[in-house]
């Protein structure tokens, strides 16, 4: 069995070594143009040339949860696409989302600014009931985030394509319930995959449905958000702020209106990092399962787009 590793933005050698150790009977190599045909691939944003040269792959394992970049490439229909299925990401996403929501709810930035100016001042405690939080996308990451938020007694709503039941979370599903979901929330956490249906879903109309003083936490993909619409809603005061981890163009270009905006908190696409050891262990288990002819979790449905 031959496994090839083709990663942009990550060093391939540690993945090659880790996979080799986990699957000693396999031959694991780093892909180069013109390399021999492989059975399996471990990829992140590979060039089109990679799939053009490797039409016989049985499966390609994405080293992230989002497969939008992968699905923009031409891949042989016989190659199964498999994404990371948690692999240590959901706990990171839960801590990051809870931190963003609590930082806003408890006005921690305002306290920090006061303290920096030598002011010992108090703000009136805000009622949790006035801060219902909505989680868009209730998959591997969104469900864990929604559950984590309930621990802090926020009213929590969730929205997904198919109906769900999650303890403590008021679940809404499908296009027909999107507006009811949004107008129930003041804080919105986005954990949708990027698909033709979800591109630009965070826009003037949808964000305008949030309760006044709304707050956006975008942890999924930059192309979910219409940047100018967010800026307009922040300027009008309908939205109180936003925490953004993902952007249409990454790194965020110099001079973009999000840099230094007083109501926007930025992080550089870091809310849930790929953890190499966990990911290698998961991919190795899945390759062994596929070799035995067993199904694996996290297989991408190309029609659905995630």
Q: For ligand OXD, what does the binding mask look like between residues 100 and 139, x meaning CB under 6 A?
A: ----------------------------------------
**Which alpha helices (H) appear in the chain, and where do they start and end?**
12-22, 48-53, 68-71, 89-105, 108-116, 140-151, 178-183, 204-208, 227-236, 276-291
Neighbours of 137 (CB within 10 A): 24
Task: Identify whether 302 is a catalytic site residue.
Answer: no
Q: Which two tokens stand for residue 217?
A: 């936490």
Please identify, using beta-carbon distances, which residue of 153 and 277 lies nearer to ligand OXD. Answer: 277
C-alpha count within 13 angstroms, C-beta hemisphere, residue 108: 9
Q: Is 64 in the site for ligand OXD (CB under 6 A)?
A: yes
Task: Identify whether 221 is a catalytic site residue.
Answer: yes
Tell me which of 211, 269, 276, 302 is the catalytic residue. 269
| 178 closest CA partner among 156, 201, 200, 211 | 201
Q: What is the DSSP letter of 129?
A: G
By CB under 6 A, what part of segment 76-135 binds ligand NDP? Answer: 89
By CB under 6 A, what part of segment 199-258 binds ligand NDP? Answer: 219-221, 245-246
Please report where in the chains the tokens 């920096």 appear, as a residue. 116
Please identify, using beta-carbon distances, which residue of 80 and 83 lies nearer to ligand OXD. Answer: 83
Q: Find the binder of ligand NDP among 185, 191, 239, 244 (CB under 6 A).
A: 191
CA distance 175 to 38: 41
Tell me which of 80, 103, 221, 224 is the catalytic residue. 221
Q: Find the binder of ligand NDP among 12, 18, 46, 66 (CB under 6 A).
A: 66
CA distance 188 to 67: 23
Residues that bind ligand NDP (CB under 6 A): 64-66, 89, 137-142, 159-162, 191-195, 197-198, 219-221, 245-246, 269, 271-272, 306
Residues that bind ligand OXD (CB under 6 A): 64-66, 274
Q: Which residues are catalytic?
A: 221, 269
């Amino acid at each position: 069995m031959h496994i090839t590793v083709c990663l942009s933005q990550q060093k391939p050698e540690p993945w090659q070594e880790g996979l080799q150790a986990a699957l000693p009977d396999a031959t694991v190599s780093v892909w180069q143009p013109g390399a021999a045909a492989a059975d399996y691939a471990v990829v992140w944003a590979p060039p089109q040339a990679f799939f053009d040269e490797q039409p016989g792959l049985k499966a390609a394992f994405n080293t992230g949860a989002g497969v939008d970049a992968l699905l923009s490439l031409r891949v042989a229909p016989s190659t199964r696409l498999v994404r990371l299925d948690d692999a240590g990401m959901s706990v990171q996403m839960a801590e990051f989302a809870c931190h963003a929501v609590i930082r806003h709810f408890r006005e921690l930035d305002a306290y920090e600014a006061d303290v920096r100016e030598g002011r010992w001042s108090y703000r009136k405690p805000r009622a949790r009931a006035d801060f219902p939080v909505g989680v868009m996308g209730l998959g591997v990451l969104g469900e864990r985030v929604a559950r984590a938020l309930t621990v802090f007694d926020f009213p929590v709503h969730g929205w997904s394509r198919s109906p769900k039941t999650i303890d403590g979370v008021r679940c809404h599903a499908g296009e027909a319930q999107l507006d009811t979901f949004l107008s129930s929330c003041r804080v919105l956490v986005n954990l949708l995959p990027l698909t033709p249906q979800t591109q630009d879903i965070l826009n003037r109309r949808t964000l305008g449905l949030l309760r006044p003083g709304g707050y956006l936490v975008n942890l999924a993909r930059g192309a979910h958000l219409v940047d100018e619409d967010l800026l307009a809603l922040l300027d009008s005061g309908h939205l109180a702020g936003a925490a953004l981890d993902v952007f249409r163009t990454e790194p965020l270009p110099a001079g973009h209106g999000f840099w230094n905006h007083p109501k926007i908190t930025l992080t550089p696409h870091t809310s849930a990092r790929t953890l190499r050891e966990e990911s290698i262990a998961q991919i190795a288990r899945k390759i062994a399962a596929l070799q035995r002819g067993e199904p694996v979790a996290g297989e991408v449905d190309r029609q659905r787009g995630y």
